[in-house]
Amino acid sequence: MSRERLEEHRRIWKRKPVLADVYAVWFDALLGVLPSRGRILEVGAGPGFLSAYARRRRPEVLWVATDLVEAPWNDLVADGLGLPVREGSVHAIAALDLVHHLARPERFFREARRVLVPGGVLAVIEPWLTPFSYPIYRWLHQEGCRPGIDPWNPFGAAGRKEPFEGDSGVFTRLLRQPPPVRWRDLGLGPPRLTLLNGFAYLLSLGFREASLLPRWLAAPLLRLDGRASSLARYVGLRALVVWERLPS
């Protein structure tokens, strides 16, 4: 993602306050599974919305926002496949819409294990394929969506890709494909999965200039998202997944 793209997203965010209402639900879901103290490393912070929200809501933690692209609102330029962070130095890693952009997801998970303290957590929110979300990601979204993709090698043997290039099919395959032993080999416990609805997000049209969601309607739709949680396996749009770093 280029600096220009990040700044464009920040301009749209400022002009569309309903986006902050919609994303706050996902931000709170992430914060709810993170430790209440210590150092939290955000990977792929991009336009900086999660870090700004987290610092307001959780001032007791040390939040370090990193991204590939240098930007004044983030703290550190870092590649998630090779983090410039000491071994065992962070209590949690958080990421929103990161993994499905990675050329080598396994390297990211190994790096997460390396920098986390024993018992530390890795928490991510990613696109998830359901009967409802698949056609949206497949035909109405700017990214690719290949349900049969190799999630450990999603962009070919060379691994060459643009930073913003992603595939919404990656994460669902990643969670459904490997046996538990693979996570243990990566130094992580079994993933804990929670599916999240996104009706309000869809009507907001995301980071497009237009919106079909007036702000007064956001709160009722977000409540509907929550009340329909039992249907998320059919209509969910995102997945919250948490791993715990195993002892050495």
Q: What is the pLDDT of residue 158?
A: 65
Q: What is the pLDDT of residue 221?
A: 97
28 pLDDT tier (thresholds 50, 70, 90): very high
Q: What are phi and psi of 185, to 5 degrees?
A: -65, -30
241 pLDDT tier (thresholds 50, 70, 90): very high
Residue 69 has pLDDT above 90, yes or no: yes
Burial 112-130 (b: 16+ CB within 10 A, else e): bbebbbeebbbbbbbbbbb
Q: What is the pLDDT of residue 180?
A: 81
CA distance 166 to 169: 9
Mean pLDDT (whole number) for 42-65: 97
Mean pLDDT (whole number) for 178-185: 88
| The model's pTM | 0.95
Q: What is the pLDDT of residue 179?
A: 83
Mean pLDDT (whole number) for 2-31: 96
Domains of the chain (ranges, CATH numbers) = 3-244 (3.40.50.150)
Residue 211 has pLDDT above 80, yes or no: yes
Lowest mean pLDDT among 139-143, 170-174, 188-192, 221-225: 139-143
